[in-house]
Structure 1
Amino acid sequence: MLLHRKSRVLAVVGVVLLLTAGCGSVVAGTAVKVGAAPPAAAGSGPAPALPAGDFYGYGPDPSISYQPDVVPIAAGPAAIRGVSDDGFTYSMDASAAGVSDLAVGKVMLASSLAAGRVVSIAEGDGVRDVTLEPVSFEEVVPDPEVNFDSAIDPATMSAVRFPAAPSYEEEGGPAGPGGLRGPAAALRPAAGEPGPVAGKDPITYKDVKVTPNVDSGHAGLHVTMTKDDLIVDGDIGFTFDNLRFKASGSPGKQNFSVLLQGLTGFDVAVQAGLGEVDPSGANKKVSIAPDISWTFPIPPSPATGGLPLFVQLTFTLQFITAFAAKNSTLSASASYGLKGDLGINGTSGTVPELTVNKSIMDSIDGISLNAMGHVVALKMKLMLGMGVPSAMAGPHVFVSGAVGIAKGTQIAINPDCRFASLDIKAGVGASISVDGFILKQVEKQLRKKLGVLLSVETPLVVIHREQTLPEVAACTLGFGSTLG
């Protein structure tokens, strides 16, 4: 029996929608196979070199006609001396061709991951520190169009860490009716130099350890947290078979289409426990955008509309604990199948069919003297883009899965009451894309409202389900009413 009213004990929080801007586009021409050697640039000029060990992608093609205010940096990524912790300010070699031509209001195009409109310039010893704001593709090349069709194998992509906007946000507060509350504090781990990393090594954010799990058939994260006698451990991710990404047409127009093929499922397993501490201060709401991405550089050519691009895979993670008593535990696991394409063709959307391989309701288990709950959510985004690490532009597809579980009731009449909720959402978009709480930091860093540039992408809600068992008054009083 499905519920149409959310639990009073646990409010399932879905992953936030991406925000996009303008109607810029990206590539035009032939398909590119991700995982094979990048194709040679097909313009009349020479293909820009990608220096060994470089992490910023390809530089511009000097034979391409860009918009009048675009300043291509001929040396490409070789002219970059460093990047700030927030990923918006680049130290450029002052002697490199084109760097002296940069001015506030112009667009710098140094590489796939160093492209944007100049907000400010500070002169240094042999360098110019250039702060950028994100731009759409149509601000770089005139009248671009999309014609991209590529197999995507994350196992062949490079795992890279870039400086980025704060990638960790935590809220804490009392559990129970009213939810979790408390002031948010934006934090981030110590920034390191951009560079390749082992794609399955753990990354620590304050008290949370995130371990990526990305290969040819799976993309997800393992998360562990130990703080104040609160322990969280979970695996969440998506499965796929022969993943393929397609984008064509002009974004923002009726002929625009974005399609993801090969998505096969969504799996989650989570357990949490609280020891001998007051739950009013121990519960947490944590959002993490790991500053690691899986990328594949594509050089500029007619196939890319003359732009240097990245195929990029990224994640956003969120979890919430809601224990109302000491010495409590809660665990559950589930597996869902997804069959069919995900995307949009003009104004018509297509979403996969959902099947239940393993019901989360059957696995909810735990011990508590009062109600308790947990939420875990993951968003996976696949983009063909360029820009700065925290705000890339280009056509993209995202899919998110959020699972909420709860056990017991506030009145403690029936400790076997169980509640579960599943949200699987998807969306497509184009142009500038900034995720969730990172958007707030982007606005602060640039000291201006990017909201005037941003528009909500096209969301496709795949499915939402809620269920309470057993269907008796003592349970529905705590979790909501069964409406059939």
Structure 2
Amino acid sequence: MPQPARRTVAALARRAAAALVVVLVAGCAAGGSRRARDWSRPTDAASAVAARSYGYGPVRNGSVTYQPDVVLIDGGPGVIRSASADGVVWTLAGDAPGVADLAVGKVMYATSRAVGRVADLRQTGGDVAVTLAPVGLTDVFRDAHFVDDREIGDAEAFLQEVPELPAASGVPADPKRTLKGATVPIGYRLGSDGQLPPAKTARTATVTVGDWEVQPYRGGGVLGLKVGRKQNDNLKFFADFSLKYRSLRVRSDVRVAGGKVDSNSTFALEGIESVAMDIAAGAANGSADNRKIRVEVPIEIPLPIPGEPLVYVTSWKFVASTAISGKNSTVKAGGEWRLDGPIGVIDGVLKGPSLSVKRSIIDSITGLSVGASGAVFAAETKVQFGIGIPAAFAGPYAKVVFSVGITNGSALGAPLARCIGATLDGKVGGGFGVSASSEALDALQKLLPKKIKFKLEGEKLKPFYHRDQTLPPVYLCGA
């Protein structure tokens, strides 16, 4: 394969990983007087179901100290009438203790998924609709100590769809076209009248984002994400990214003192044994069909813990890109790599696993190519223990990012050399603040009644593996 083609796909792989990373971060108001209804014991089945979507209510047992402007709402998920499909507007029972104390500028804490600074209040019959802006962990807690060692891989599986999460954007795949102003929304929008649906008891679900179908899944020791193009399209694409584990655990020791997170805190994933990636792409019209898309997957796996002020949430992002030059060309490959070691922050230091090859991706590259063909897929899996709204969650988190790029040389050059190439990059990330993409925050700013000043805390990110290989190792293939 000519050197420029190989460098183009390698550059796409690096840019995909970078784009994915960017697409990435004493006393309270005690509540009003008690009404006739007792909100303190929401034990009915409806409240149990609501807890899967909304989380549990705040704790008042002295284990945490809230900031002075935090208003606690008693009753937990049982007081939530509904939430908007973007997770920004929450409608509460008007007579729930604490609701009368809400005011614009205060921080509302109704449940772990309904926490934010009040941007707007609106009476709707006997209920109150509250519009929430993002908050950080230390906007809510002045003093707290979050310690846990929990297995999450085999927990009961729930899937929570956030239908109007600012989920996807497409950018032109042709580098000759300008990228300025080229990012356009696909499929989802903020601010409609839709509602957040209840969490489903399921291990997989499929959602459509523009011309793409996305399917997160979990079960049998695997946590993964499948991405494909819709049927009857000139461009075909499929990717399957999976983390395989024996006992997936989260270990956390996070202390907040005086409104600051201890820099020596710990939040790490343990038990992931391997990562696998399979990619296939084909185009009927060659370069005219190429696409590039960046998606924040609008499906999460929530794991609320009774008695805990925070909730575990697993989420995904991905970047998919094709670089196919010839008509009716295809490229396909798959690989798997062993991982050994924790992922996340331990005693304030970001740790990544060691990596070794279990199933070689470069040995698997096949396809029919009139011209050089390539594809890139980068995926992020993040586990967070936090509070907030879906578009901007706050709290300790750990994540792993893998980017794979593959190239298959033109069949026309086969008499001299059939060049194939593969690039693999692995990164780990972690932090203790708000984890939200700039796209999500921009969309939130447009939705909220007035512009909210908000500062993202710095994210720690560390490469732990990189390899770029081309075969055969001859001059014609760029060696």
What corresponds to 1:273 in structure 2? 282
Q: Do the aligned partners of residues 98 and 294 (structure 1) sit closer, same or farther apart at CA in structure 2, a change above 3 Å counting?
A: same
Residues 47, 349 of structure 1: CA spacing in aligned structure 2 closer, same or farther, 3 A cutoff?
A: farther
- Note the 1:279-298 alignment, pairs <5 A: 279-280=287-288, 282-298=289-305
Compared CA separation, residues 357 and 119, structure 1 to 2 (3 A): same
Match of 2:356 in 1: 355
1:80-479 paired onto structure 2 within 5 Å:
80-174=80-174, 183-189=182-188, 193-197=196-200, 198-226=202-230, 228-250=233-255, 252-275=261-284, 277=285, 279-280=287-288, 282-300=289-307, 304=308, 307=309, 309-408=310-409, 416-435=418-437, 437-446=439-448, 452-476=454-478
Measured in 2, the distance between the counterparts of 1:405 and 1:394 equals 36
Q: 1:448 to 1:7 in 2, by over 3 A?
A: farther
Residue 53 (1) aligns with residue 61 (2): no
Residue 259 of structure 1, CA deviation: 2.1
Q: Deviation at 1:138?
A: 2.5
Distance 1:473 1:443, change over 3 A: farther
SS at match of 2:56: coil
Residues matched between the structures, number: 441
236 and 445 in structure 1: CA distance in 2 versus 1, 3 angstrom threshold: same
Say if 1:79 and 1:96, in contact at 8 Å, map to a contact too. Answer: yes
Change (3 A) 1:241 1:63: closer
SS at 2:122 equivalent: strand
CA distance in 1, matches of 2:281, 2:402: 19
Look up the match of 2:35.
Answer: none
- Aligned-partner SS, 2:370: coil
TM-score, reference length from structure 1 = 0.83
SS in 2 for 1:195: coil
Larger deviation, residues 217-226 vs 103-112: 217-226
Take 1:365 and 1:182, find their aligned partners in 2: how far apart are those partners? 36
| Structure 2 Cα separation of the partners of residues 189 and 345 of structure 1 | 37
**Partner SS for 1:68:** coil
Q: Is the 8 A contact 2:217 2:223 kept in 1?
A: yes
Residues 403 and 440 of structure 1, relative CA distance in 2, 3 Å threshold: farther
CA contact (8 A) 1:137 1:393 kept: yes
User: How far apart are the structure 1 equivalents of 2:163 and 2:9?
Assistant: 38
More helix by share: 2
Task: Tell me by how many angstroms 1:343 deviates.
Answer: 2.8
Moved more, 152-161 or 112-121: 152-161
Measured after TM superposition, the shift of residue 425 of structure 1 is 0.8
Q: Counterpart of 1:362 in 2: which secondary structure?
A: helix
- The superposition leaves residues 12-48 of structure 1 with CA deviations (integer Å, 9 ceiling, x where unpaired) of 011315763xxxxxxxxxxxxxxxxxxxxxxxx9776
Residue deviations 1:80-113 (CA, integer Å, cap 9, x gap):
2222232111122333332222111101111111
Decide whether aligned partners of structure 1 residues 465 and 97 sit closer, same or farther in structure 2, where only a CA change above 3 A counts: same
Which stretch of structure 1 is more off in the superposition, 248-257 or 353-362? 248-257
| Residue 347 (structure 1) shift | 4.5
Instruction: Determine if contact 1:62/1:74 at 8 Å carries over to the other structure.
Output: no
Look up the SS of the partner of 2:165 in the other structure: coil
Q: Which residue of 2 aligns with 1:479?
A: none
Distance in 1 separating the partners of 2:241 and 2:76 = 38
CA-based RMSD: 3.0
The offset of 1:448, in angstroms, is 7.2
**Identity over aligned residues, as a percent?**
32
Q: Which amino acid is 2:135 matched to?
A: V
Q: Secondary structure at 1:454's aligned position in 2?
A: coil
1:398 is aligned with what amino acid? K
Question: Secondary structure of 1:16's partner?
Answer: helix
Q: Alpha-carbon deviation of 1:6?
A: 7.5
Name the amino acid aligned to 2:294: S
- In 1, Cα distance between the equivalents of 2:121 and 2:6? 50
Pair 1:370–1:58, CA change in 2 (3 A): same
Instruction: Find the aligned partners of 2:425 and 2:135 in 1 and give their Cα distance.
Output: 32
**Conserved? CA contact 2:421–2:471, under 8 Å:** yes
TM-score (norm 2): 0.83
Name the structure, 1 or 2, with higher relative contact order (CA <8 Å, separation 6+): 1
Residue 164 of structure 1: how far off its partner (Å): 4.5
1:260 partner amino acid: L
The whole-number CA distance in structure 2 between the counterparts of 1:450 and 1:216 is 43
Q: Give the whole-Å Cα distance in 2 for the aligned partners of 1:219 and 1:257.
A: 23
Residues 409, 415 of structure 1: 8 Å contact kept:
no
Output the CA distance in 2 between the equivalents of 1:411 and 1:446: 56
Q: Distance in 1 between matches of 2:103 and 2:466?
A: 49
Does the 8 Å contact 1:154/1:294 carry over to 2?
no
- 3-state SS in 2 of match to 1:52: helix
Give the 3 Å change call, closer, same or farther, for CA 207–128 of structure 1 in structure 2: same
Q: List runs of 5+ in structure 2 lacking aligned partners.
A: 26-38
